[in-house]
């Protein structure tokens, strides 16, 4: 499977001056927008809603902090108001590539085009 990397902007809804702009890796096996804990201060004074345990792709467990609310926008899609998950991450070659998960993709009405290796707009939300 190919990699889909997308531009994302995340803002603190209580103070829009605090924001993160990054390239994120689309990961349909991940639930949240996951950010490195090292970036948490970039969103200013943001509420920690909960601390949860997460399981990583290598099956190790780690604690994470759910924070929000934030305004999140994937380039080309409508903005949403949601939460983000901060965990300890190691940058690859000095660069973080945080994953954006299926909850965010569904909220933005973004679908994964596996053949075109891109996101596409979903016309209708599924309520069946």
What digits encode the pLDDT tens for the residues 18-55?
999 999 999 999 999 999 999 999 999 999 999 999 99
pLDDT tens column, 42-88: 999 999 999 999 998 889 999 999 999 999 999 999 999 999 999 99
CATH code where residue 41 lies: 2.40.70.10
| Structural domain total, the chain | 1
Rounded CA separation 42/60 (Å): 27
Q: How long is the chain?
A: 128
Residue 16, domain extent: 5-121
Dist CA 96 CA 86 (whole Å):
13
67 inside domain: yes
- Whether 15 is in a domain gets the answer yes
The reply to whether 37 falls in a domain is: yes
Would 29 be classed as within a structural domain? yes
Whether residue 70 lies inside any domain: the answer is yes
Distance of CA 57 to the CA centre of its chain: 16
Helical ranges in 1-128 per DSSP H:
102-107
Q: Is the residue at 128 inside a domain?
A: no
pTM of the model: 0.93
């Amino acid at each position: 499977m190919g990699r889909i990397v997308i531009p994302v902007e995340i803002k603190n809804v209580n103070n829009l001056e605090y924001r993160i702009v990054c390239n994120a890796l689309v990961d349909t096996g991940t639930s949240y927008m996951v950010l490195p804990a090292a970036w948490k201060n970039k969103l200013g004074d943001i509420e920690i809603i909960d601390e949860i345990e997460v399981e990583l792709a290598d099956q190790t467990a780690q604690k994470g902090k759910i924070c929000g609310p934030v305004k999140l926008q994937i380039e080309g899609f409508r903005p949403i108001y949601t939460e983000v998950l901060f965990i300890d991450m190691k940058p690859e070659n000095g660069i973080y590539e945080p994953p954006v998960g299926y909850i965010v993709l569904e909220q933005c009405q973004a679908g994964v085009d596996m053949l075109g290796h891109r996101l596409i707009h979903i016309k209708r939300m599924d309520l069946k």
